[in-house]
Amino acid sequence: MGVKYEKAVSESLTYDIKALELANSGQRSPPEDRFTHVQGKKGVLFRETYLNPHDHQGLIVAYTYLHQAKEEYGDFITNLAYTIGDENIEAIKGYHLYEEIDTHQVIFSILDVASISLAPIGADIIPDALGLVYALANGKRTEAGMYAVSVAAIGITQYGVAFVKSNNRFTLVAKFSNQGELVGYELKKADQVISSSNEKPLVSSFADNLKDAKKDFKDGLDIDFGSNTTFNIRDDVQSQFGGTIITKIDSTKDIVNQTEDAIGVLRLLDGVEADKLDSFLKSLNKTNLTDGQRLALLEKVKALNGDASFFVNDFADNVNELKLFAENDGLFNSWKVLNEVGETDLGSRIDDIEFVDNYIKKTFKTQTEVTSDILRSEGFDAWKMVKAKAKLVDNLNLGSFVKNIGDYEVYEKGEVFYRAISKSNYDDLEANNRLLGTGECTTSPNQSFSEDYNGYLMKFKLKLGTINDLIDIGITDGSILVKQQFGDLPTNQDIGGNWNQTRARFKKEGTQVNIALGKGTALQIFNDNLLEFELIQINPKNYD
């Protein structure tokens, strides 16, 4: 069998070469190389390299018709014999319809495979087809090869159909409309394959289970993709199609030629409408981002996983917004929050996305926490209205340093206090812009002192004069340091006790003097004079 097959292949190659010479006569360019057969993973593969597309735009890849299982092509019988191991089938010399080989026909067949990536069906072959898209878009030379058996042929004939239907295997079928347009792909049991103008088996597996069959499809489409060849899509070729497949591949070009990693990005865009993906990639190409920035943005889209399709749909036509996402990674998390809470038309709502991003950065909250907060509110608009009124800021706007009163710092635009508070107190502060009084409600003139306390470490900006207002109602703990920094103050005993409700207490702690606000008058002054507050950090334990 082996000798007979080798001889048949040799004869077939001879006819192939002659056919190519004839096909390349006249206006066609001569082939750069001839195809050879090599041992593949599960059988014989045919590898072809006909033309360098950048130099020759005539005949591009003759694979479709040279190895198509047409009745006129005798190698079909040879391949079938080899596959089923029938040594009694004599090799039949191949015939090539070389006069039928034209750009339109050849490219259409290759695009059938490439378009799998842009019309996903959830099969494992999608990323492999993207390998072909990558090669196409790059204009690299790829050796296009598939299993040289009957069931691997595009446009399989009655012989192949009969063979496929006679066994319990799996087949990838291309589905066409009545107008001949490719509408999608489907995995079918081999015995379900029919012969019609609307359904063509592309690649079939001899596996007896779906998992192995998918692996076969993956292996079949993986053969030499991206390693050496194919063609650059020319304007005149596009005009022959005028269809969506060409457009999609062409618009993908500038993205995928940056790196093969982009293939991993695009394979996750399963739910993206074809036109939206097309527009998204075109918009990305219109930005003035560097290749690295574009790739980084695509990788962020990939990280959205199941939400990637929604993102593409939102920003398909928004070039300027895409630039913002490339410059600020946090916007992806903010977009995801709004998407998860059911907000729509986010492509035109960059202000809302940035609002959520700023809020996340100010509060150190996770995406999940913010999502939960919004869902507990009466919708995003209500949540935003409350948060917009909050005096919470990224950084206090203080101006230049002016002086110290004690160890408390006074700036051009306000005076600074520090305090660590519990989570529940923080939530109340954020919602109501007022500090709750707990215990003595002690404040510190510096951050380091408050870092020793667990909870939310806050930095407050108060109106100028606040410290003096507190001195006016202050009492001392009797320490010399208080007198040195703030003058003569009465003691709690001097006022008859109960300072917590009517006074501010100045007390020495370590080497500094802190001001305790209590729960009455001093706290009221503090809250009335509160201009802004900043969350510095969340200390190890969040206590309530």
Which 3-state string (H, E, C) describes 421-450?
ECHHHHHHHHHHCCCCCCCCCEEECCHHHH
Would 257 be classed as within a structural domain?
A: no
Task: Return the structure tokens found at 456.
Answer: 């939310």
Neighbours of 489 (CB within 10 A): 20
Provide the pLDDT for residue 489: 95
354 vs 261, residue with greater confidence: 354
**DSSP states of 49-60 as a string?**
----TTT--SS-
Domain total of the chain: 3
Task: Return the structure tokens found at 106.
Answer: 């050849």
Return the minimum-mean-pLDDT range out of 60-69, 197-206, 285-294.
60-69
Could you tell me if 425 and 432 are in contact, meaning their C-beta atoms sit under 8 angstroms apart? no
The β-bridge partners of 100 are none
Residue 95's φ and ψ, nearest 5 degrees, are -125, 135
Q: CA-CA distance, 102 to 270, in Å (whole number)? A: 32
Would 457 be classed as within a structural domain?
A: yes
Strands 414-421 and 408-411: antiparallel
Is residue 359 domain-shared with residue 503, that is, in the same domain? no
Residue 530 Ramachandran class (φ > 0 left, ψ -120 to 50 alpha, else beta): beta
Is residue 16 domain-shared with residue 155, that is, in the same domain? yes
Domain boundary (389, 409, 432) is at 389
Could you tell me if 184 and 172 are in contact, meaning their C-beta atoms sit under 8 angstroms apart? no
311 vs 60, residue with greater confidence: 311
10 vs 116, residue with greater confidence: 10
Neighbours of 181 (CB within 10 A): 11
Domain boundary (222, 251, 282) is at 222
Is residue 352 domain-shared with residue 470, that is, in the same domain? no
Q: How much is the average pLDDT of 183-192?
A: 60
The β-bridge partners of 537 are 457
Would 367 be classed as within a structural domain?
A: yes
Give first-to-last CA distance, the chain, whole Å. 83
Task: Return the structure tokens found at 494.
Answer: 């001097």
Is residue 346 domain-shared with residue 435, that is, in the same domain? no
- Please give the DSSP secondary-structure letter assigned to residue 223: T
Q: How much is the average pLDDT of 513-535?
A: 96
Could you tell me if 303 and 323 are in contact, meaning their C-beta atoms sit under 8 angstroms apart? no
Domain boundary (159, 190, 222) is at 222
Is residue 47 domain-shared with residue 160, that is, in the same domain? yes
- Which residue type occupies 71? E
Could you tell me if 331 and 351 are in contact, meaning their C-beta atoms sit under 8 angstroms apart? no
The parent domain of residue 103 ranges over 2-222
* DSSP-based three-state secondary structure for 306: helix
Q: Is the pLDDT of residue 86 over 50?
A: no
Q: Which residues contact 131 (CB under 8 A, 6 or more apart)?
A: 221, 222, 225, 226, 260, 263
Is residue 279 domain-shared with residue 168, that is, in the same domain? no
Structure-token match 């919004």, residue found = 374
Is residue 56 domain-shared with residue 95, that is, in the same domain? yes
Is residue 411 domain-shared with residue 528, that is, in the same domain? yes
The β-bridge partners of 401 are 411
Q: CA-CA distance, 44 to 323, in Å (whole number)? A: 48
Return the minimum-mean-pLDDT range out of 53-62, 167-176, 285-294, 529-538.
53-62
Distances (CA, A) of 20 to 15, 23, 157, 362, 515: 8, 5, 23, 68, 93
Q: What is the pTM of this model?
A: 0.48
Q: pLDDT band at residue 323, thresholds of 50, 70 and 90?
A: confident
Closest CA to 526 of 514, 534, 538, 518: 518
Q: Is the pLDDT of residue 34 over 80?
A: no
Is residue 409 domain-shared with residue 532, that is, in the same domain? yes
Would 262 be classed as within a structural domain?
A: no
Q: CA-CA distance, 300 to 370, in Å (whole number)? A: 20
Sign of CA dihedral 513, 514, 516, 517: positive
Per cent of the chain over pLDDT 70 is 47
Is residue 54 domain-shared with residue 171, that is, in the same domain? yes
Neighbours of 75 (CB within 10 A): 30
Would 482 be classed as within a structural domain?
A: yes
Side-chain half-sphere CA neighbours of 360 within 13 A: 24
CATH at residue 413? 3.20.170
Provide the pLDDT for residue 259: 34
Is residue 344 domain-shared with residue 484, that is, in the same domain? no
Is residue 288 domain-shared with residue 426, that is, in the same domain? no
Would 30 be classed as within a structural domain?
A: yes
Residues recorded for the chain = 544
Would 37 be classed as within a structural domain?
A: yes
Would 253 be classed as within a structural domain?
A: no
* DSSP-based three-state secondary structure for 480: helix
Q: pLDDT band at residue 121, thresholds of 50, 70 and 90?
A: very low
Query: Where would I find the beta strands (DSSP E) of 396-511?
Result: 401-405, 408-411, 414-421, 442-443, 456-462, 474-476, 504-509
Provide the pLDDT for residue 389: 87
